[in-house]
Amino acid sequence: MESSRSRSWLFGIIGWLVAIVLFFPIFWVAITAFKTEQAAYSPSLIFSPTLESFHEVFARSNYVGFALNSIYIALGSTLLCFIIAIPAAYRMAFFPSAKTQSTLLWMLSTKMMPAVGVLLPIYLLFKSAGLLDSVWGLIGIYTLINLPIAIWMSYTYFREVPSAILEAARVDGAGIMSQIWHVLTPMALPGISSTALLLIILSWNEAFWSINLTSSHAAPLTVFIASYSSPEGLFWAKLSAASLLAVAPIMVMGWLTQKQLVSGLTFGAVK
Amino acid sequence: MSDGSVKIKNLVKTYANEHGHPAFTAVKGIDLEIKDGEFMVLVGPSGCGKTTTLRMIAGLESITSGTIEIGGKVVNDVEPKDRGIAMVFQNYALYPHMTVFENMAFGLKLAKKSKDDIRDAVTRAAKALDLDQLLHRKPQTLSGGQRQRVALGRAIVRNPKVFLFDEPLSNLDAKMRVQMRTEISRLHAVLRTTMIYVTHDQVEAMTMGDRICVMRAGVIMQVADPLTLYRQPQNVFVAGFIGSPPMNLLNGVVKRSGCGLEFVDETGAFIVPLPSRLEKFAEPFVGRKIIFGARPEHLSPTPTSDVGTQKPLTMTIELAEPLGSETILYLKSGARQIVARHIGEQHCQPGQTVALHLNMEKVHLFDAETGNVINA
Amino acid sequence: MKRPIRTLLQAPSVGLLFLWMIVPLAMTIYFSFIRYNLLNPDVHGFAGFQNYQFLWEDPAFVPALINTLALIGSVLIVTIVLGTLLAVLYERRFFGRNVATLLVIAPFFVMPTVSALVWKNMILHPVYGLLAHAFFAVGLTPIDWFGRFPMVSVIMILSWEWLPFAFLILYTSIKSLDREQREAALIDGAKPVQMFFHITLPHLKRAIGVVIMIETIFLLSVFAEIYTTTSGGPGTATTNLAYLVYSQGLQQFDIGIASAGGILAVVMANVVAFFLVRILARSLKGNT
């Protein structure tokens, strides 16, 4: 047993080494956010922290505006997703038909279509409908691309609710909407909340449609950060400050939704 | 009071397969009349259609054909909430995120009753079921028996015309089951509302029902009060289903003997002269296959009556199960196993031979082909 | 529940997804067969396979195709090999494993534009980047990653982003490996390496397959990282199919050719999707 204990030490060291190396860029961004622009270019871990980069980001750019866009789009599309997905998942979980499984699979397969395949029609359609650079346009797109995940995850959580409870509600006089609102959703709330967090993360980080369909007015943080890539915009401390604010809350959400991530992104193929 | 009678006419339930074609008929055209205020038990082995029938009465299952009337009104297309019914589910089906109070109040809340009305109705029901101390607890903190009472309370609060029970006691331990049985029977005595109760346990059926409807494979085998079912089973299935230990059923033929008709079982080892009361009915069955039925409790060491006795059967004890007040004996007569019930504390050992008298007043004959009783 | 209500519950989802699938795709297919250039709005007409031909002959096309495949292949190899090793490593209990896991999966939640810029500037920058400082510290001259090895740089960024995903999936799968199976092998005298190849790896086969397919589908459309760091350059060194479609369609406004490229991407994705859906169907059936 001696060897296994020393082995466990070794695994621990290597494991932590890898973790630190992988996490280091994020750690570095976090530190640099609190440095002055001057200090940002030095690799030193010792520095006097300051909030001036954060101030600059808020003063010199419309950070709040972009952040609000990200928030509106993420929350709006997630809410819309669930409004459409929950009734469908209810029907599939409690009143499945012979076609239910294949319908589910088909829905999941819509997520396998590469975005470039429909970039141009969507761009042109949005252009003629005046939806370019609009928050609602992105909300619409994100609702569509996240709908399969919302339906799939809700479906799996609903399957764990005994149908007798919904029947009891029906006998008590609850129509379908009442059953869903008063009984089903409260019971499936933990799973639905984690799925909601997952969808918020996916919407927040989405960088294909947001870059191509927005420019200034409706641009979320993904686009705003990309603007730091132009030669004039190369300020590392500010980039770090802006990035830290954009990334930190999402990272925490991600830590909370590990399980949903696995199930949601592999469509249940791995549990 | 409102009419809680239930009339079922030619009720059929067929399930379609994935192509929409009829695949499986769970209920094959049954007729049943349940009187207002009656406690009717639907009993039978699993798959007999009793739960499907109950769910069709509730409105949770669609009706393929036939009609169901509640209180004189056809309810085929009426939603469960408008049928005047309340249901107690097998697994209680309580709302886990609501307190006991909220569970019972839910239906009233949906019906938009006033807060005061709701509070009155719920506290009244809670008092009656001894739940008033538990109103603010959630279901997972309650015991099985308490949960069942909450399910009952939820049903009572609806003030229904008909109570429907779907095997409510099968998830309880034996002691709790007896307690809840009496609770439900007491409830029925107080409320006098129609109650339709589904179970697979014939003891439950016999102790609780005013009348019992025995079902099998989607058909009704017999509907009668408990004693009638016990004394006068109409067919082999009911005879073997009701009564524990079950009736001894022996295959054999009717033969003519020197002094009348006799039953000879298929091994030839068990020969019993038929009592005179049955002779005229058995006459057409000479040479044909019949089933001879005798309940374990009708075999005893001493003759029970003069009429119809014959010389005792000598059998060897294979196994004796002492239950205290009585002993169940598994006996061998030739190649045949007979079960007998022996009242008394006498010691019975395997290997012993006993001589048992058969009470011929209580034996039954059944047509082997149709399963029906031979009494006409 | 009555039939019409049933369909009504499902209808919005099915309808919306159906429209989302069919309408834009049909339009892309249509565009790929006509002459459509926003800069020359007067030019109409059926183009047959001309767009596809032009695409093929476009000097950027074949490199873009090669880049796409190289990118996907490299990221797959890095993430799966490292992900598997990491998953095996983390399967052992060690102090603070849960926290370490959080650190390992963190990169997946960083938005692509942030990852790209942080890597390009703060890590890989040939003068002020962390790697440059490290090189200086050991007396070497730093490498100008994006200048000399643009593709490798992009692959580095993508691998960093996707390694957590592969790790998480494989780690989840490894945790489901029956402990007893492993103990039986130990008793049979299996050495760790044999254990890995004969027990762990076969068990992971399915998860690895799923990771390959899902990563492929997402990597086919990699865009933001390239857009933010290299804009496809230098030249066409880091242009992949997705970026090519973007540059043809939204920069050069040749909708026809861009659509042809888009269709190609769809076809490639469909090949992978076909196999993925088969696996999903099997797992769905296994659950019902």
Q: What does the alpha-carbon distance between residue B139 and residue B148 come to, in Å, rounded to a whole number? A: 10
The secondary structure of residue C127, as a DSSP letter, is T
Does the pLDDT value for residue A239 go beyond 90?
A: no
Residues in chain B: 376
Q: In chain C, which residue's Cα lies nearest the Cα of A23?
A: C103
Residues in chain A closer than 8 A to B148 (CB atoms): none
Q: Please indicate whether, in this complex, the C-beta atoms of B81 and A171 are within 8 angstroms of each other.
A: yes
Asked if the structure places residue B233 within a domain, the reply is yes
Residue A114 has phi, psi (to 5 degrees) of -70, 140
Q: Please indicate whether, in this complex, the C-beta atoms of B86 and A171 are within 8 angstroms of each other.
A: yes
The residue type found at B108 is L
Q: What does the alpha-carbon distance between residue C87 and residue C231 come to, in Å, rounded to a whole number? A: 34
Q: What's the pLDDT score for residue B118?
A: 93
Do residues B274 and B176 share a domain?
Answer: no
Residues in chain C closer than 8 A to A104 (CB atoms): 284
- B80, B95, B97: residue with CB nearest A171: B80
Q: What is the CATH number of the domain that holds B343?
A: 2.40.50.140
Pick the more confident residue, A71 or C56. A71
Do residues B112 and B255 share a domain?
Answer: no
Q: Beta B6-16 vs B299-300: how paired, if at all? A: unpaired
Do residues B299 and B189 share a domain?
Answer: no
Q: What does the alpha-carbon distance between residue A220 and residue A225 come to, in Å, rounded to a whole number? A: 9
Asked if the structure places residue B374 within a domain, the reply is no
A171 touches chain C (CB under 8 A): no
Query: Residues B70-112: pLDDT tens digits?
Result: 998 999 999 999 999 999 999 889 999 999 999 999 999 999 9
Mean pLDDT of A94-110: 89
Provide the domain count of chain B: 2
Q: Beta B39-43 vs B73-74: how paired, if at all? A: unpaired
Q: What's the pLDDT score for residue A1?
A: 42
Q: What's the pLDDT score for residue B66?
A: 94
Domain of residue B159 covers 6-241
Lowest-confidence pick of B256-270, B342-356, C105-119, C178-192: B342-356
Residues of A numbered 130-159 whose beta carbons fall under 8 angstroms of chain C's beta carbons: which are they?
143-144, 147-148, 151
Do residues B44 and B138 share a domain?
Answer: yes
Do B188 and B152 contact (CB within 8 A), yes or no?
no
Residues of C numbered 219-258 whose beta carbons fall under 8 angstroms of chain A's beta carbons: which are they?
220-221, 223-224, 227-229, 241-242, 245-246, 249-250, 255, 258
Q: In chain A, which residue's Cα lies nearest the Cα of B158?
A: A172
Q: What does the alpha-carbon distance between residue B241 and residue C225 come to, in Å, rounded to a whole number? A: 75
ipTM of the prediction: 0.86
Q: Beta B211-216 vs B39-43: how paired, if at all? A: parallel
Does the pLDDT value for residue C267 go beyond 60?
A: yes
Q: Please indicate whether, in this complex, the C-beta atoms of C265 and A239 are within 8 angstroms of each other.
A: no
Q: What is the CATH number of the domain that holds B191?
A: 3.40.50.300
Kindly report the average pLDDT of chain C as a whole number.
87
Do residues B33 and B171 share a domain?
Answer: yes
Hey, what are A258's tokens? 């590990």
- C28, C245, C283: residue with CB nearest A269: C283
Lowest-confidence pick of A48-57, A196-205, A207-216, B3-12: A48-57
Q: In chain B, which residue's Cα lies nearest the Cα of A185?
A: B97
Domain boundary among B198, B222, B241: B241
Q: Please indicate whether, in this complex, the C-beta atoms of A225 and C114 are within 8 angstroms of each other.
A: yes
Asked if the structure places residue B289 within a domain, the reply is yes
Asked if the structure places residue B303 within a domain, the reply is yes
Q: What's the pLDDT score for residue B305?
A: 57
- Provide the shortest C-alpha distance from residue B55 to chain A (in Å): 10
The 3-state DSSP class for residue A11 equals helix
Q: What's the pLDDT score for residue B310?
A: 60
- The residues near A51 (Cβ < 8 Å, ≥ 6 apart) are A34
Query: Residues A211-220: pLDDT tens digits?
Result: 999 988 899 9
Do residues B310 and B174 share a domain?
Answer: no
Does the pLDDT value for residue C7 go beyond 70?
A: yes
Please provide the DSSP assignment of chain A as one string. -HHHHHHHHHHHHHHHHHHHHHHHHHHHHHHHHTS-TTGGGS--S-----SHHHHHHHHHS-HHHHHHHHHHHHHHHHHHHHHHHHHHHHHHHHS--TTHHHHHHHHHHGGGS-THHHHHHHHHHHHHHT-TT-HHHHHHHHHHHHHHHHHHHHHHHHTTS-HHHHHHHHHTT--HHHIIIIIIHHHHHHHHHHHHHHHHHHHHH--SHHHHH-SSSS--HHHHHHGGGSGGG--HHHHHHHHHHHHHHHHHHHHHTHHHHHHHHTTTS--
Residues in chain B closer than 8 A to A171 (CB atoms): 58-60, 80-81, 85-87, 107
- A167, A173, A187: residue with CB nearest B97: A187
| Residue indicated by tokens 């090895």 | C149
Q: Please indicate whether, in this complex, the C-beta atoms of B94 and A165 are within 8 angstroms of each other.
A: yes
The size of the A-B interface in CB pairs under 8 A is 59
Query: Residues B14-40: pLDDT tens digits?
Result: 988 767 778 889 999 999 999 999 999
Percent of chain C with pLDDT over 70: 98
The secondary structure of residue B289, as a DSSP letter, is E
Domain boundary among B188, B212, B241: B241
A98 touches chain B (CB under 8 A): yes
Asked if the structure places residue B277 within a domain, the reply is yes
Please provide the DSSP assignment of A48-70 as one string. ---SHHHHHHHHHS-HHHHHHHH
Do residues B216 and B301 share a domain?
Answer: no
- A9, A107, A118: residue with CB nearest C25: A118
Query: Residues B276-294: pLDDT tens digits?
Result: 888 888 888 888 889 999 8
Q: What subunits touch chain B, counting only 3 or more CB pairs under 8 A?
A: A
Which of B56, B98, B106, B150 is the best residue to mutate to test the A interface, defined by the most A CB atoms within 10 Å of its own CB? Answer: B106
The secondary structure of residue B247, as a DSSP letter, is P
Residues in chain C closer than 8 A to A69 (CB atoms): none
Do residues B254 and B234 share a domain?
Answer: no
Q: Please indicate whether, in this complex, the C-beta atoms of A172 and B154 are within 8 angstroms of each other.
A: yes
Does the pLDDT value for residue B1 go beyond 60?
A: no
Q: Please indicate whether, in this complex, the C-beta atoms of A171 and B111 are within 8 angstroms of each other.
A: no
Q: What's the pLDDT score for residue B51?
A: 94
B161 touches chain A (CB under 8 A): no
Asked if the structure places residue B372 within a domain, the reply is no
Asked if the structure places residue B375 within a domain, the reply is no
Which of A171, A185, A187 is the best residue to mutate to test the B interface, defined by the most B CB atoms within 10 Å of its own CB? Answer: A171
Residues of C numbered 80-119 whose beta carbons fall under 8 angstroms of chain A's beta carbons: which are they?
86, 89-90, 92-97, 100-119
The secondary structure of residue C140, as a DSSP letter, is P
Hey, what are B203's tokens? 């003891």
- A98, A167, A178: residue with CB nearest B93: A167
Do residues B196 and B340 share a domain?
Answer: no
Q: What subunits touch chain C, counting only 3 or more CB pairs under 8 A?
A: A
Burial class (CB in 10 A: 0-12, 13-18, 19+), A133: middle
Provide the edge-to-edge strand list for the sheet that holds B219-224.
B85-88, B162-166, B194-199, B39-43, B211-216, B219-224
Q: Please indicate whether, in this complex, the C-beta atoms of B110 and A187 are within 8 angstroms of each other.
A: no
Query: Residues A155-202: pLDDT tens digits?
Result: 989 998 999 999 999 999 999 999 999 999 999 998 899 899 999 999
A162 touches chain B (CB under 8 A): yes
Asked if the structure places residue B323 within a domain, the reply is yes
Mean pLDDT of C183-198: 81
Do residues B73 and B119 share a domain?
Answer: yes
A10 touches chain B (CB under 8 A): no
Do A169 and B96 contact (CB within 8 A), yes or no?
no
- B85, B93, B107: residue with CB nearest A162: B93
- CB atoms closer than 10 angstroms to residue A137: 21
Q: Please indicate whether, in this complex, the C-beta atoms of B110 and A174 are within 8 angstroms of each other.
A: yes
Q: What is the 3-state secondary structure (H, E, C) of C103-120?
A: HHHHHHHCCHHHHHHHHH
Q: What's the pLDDT score for residue A46?
A: 79
- Provide the shortest C-alpha distance from residue C46 to chain A (in Å): 17
A17 touches chain C (CB under 8 A): no
Domain boundary among B241, B270, B305: B241
Does the pLDDT value for residue A2 go beyond 50?
A: no
Query: Residues B107-150: pLDDT tens digits?
Result: 999 999 899 999 999 999 999 898 989 999 999 999 888 999 99
Does the pLDDT value for residue C288 go beyond 50?
A: no
- Provide the shortest C-alpha distance from residue A128 to chain C (in Å): 13
pLDDT band at C2 (very low <50, low <70, confident <90, very high): low
Q: Please indicate whether, in this complex, the C-beta atoms of A270 and C25 are within 8 angstroms of each other.
A: no
Q: In chain A, which residue's Cα lies nearest the Cα of C282?
A: A269
Do residues B26 and B144 share a domain?
Answer: yes
CA C86 to chain centre: 20
- Provide the shortest C-alpha distance from residue A95 to chain C (in Å): 8
Mean pLDDT of B55-64: 93
- Provide the shortest C-alpha distance from residue B81 to chain A (in Å): 5
The 3-state DSSP class for residue B295 equals coil
The 3-state DSSP class for residue B93 equals coil
Which regions of chain A does DSSP assign to beta strands (E)?
none
Mean pLDDT of B265-278: 82
A245 touches chain C (CB under 8 A): no
Q: Please indicate whether, in this complex, the C-beta atoms of A271 and C102 are within 8 angstroms of each other.
A: no
Do residues B319 and B214 share a domain?
Answer: no
B89 touches chain A (CB under 8 A): yes
Does the pLDDT value for residue C277 go beyond 90?
A: no
CA distances from B364 to B233, B275, B359 (A): 9, 10, 11
Q: Please indicate whether, in this complex, the C-beta atoms of B107 and A172 are within 8 angstroms of each other.
A: yes
Q: Please indicate whether, in this complex, the C-beta atoms of B81 and A178 are within 8 angstroms of each other.
A: no
Query: Residues C152-172: pLDDT tens digits?
Result: 999 999 999 999 999 999 998
- A98, A172, A187: residue with CB nearest B96: A187
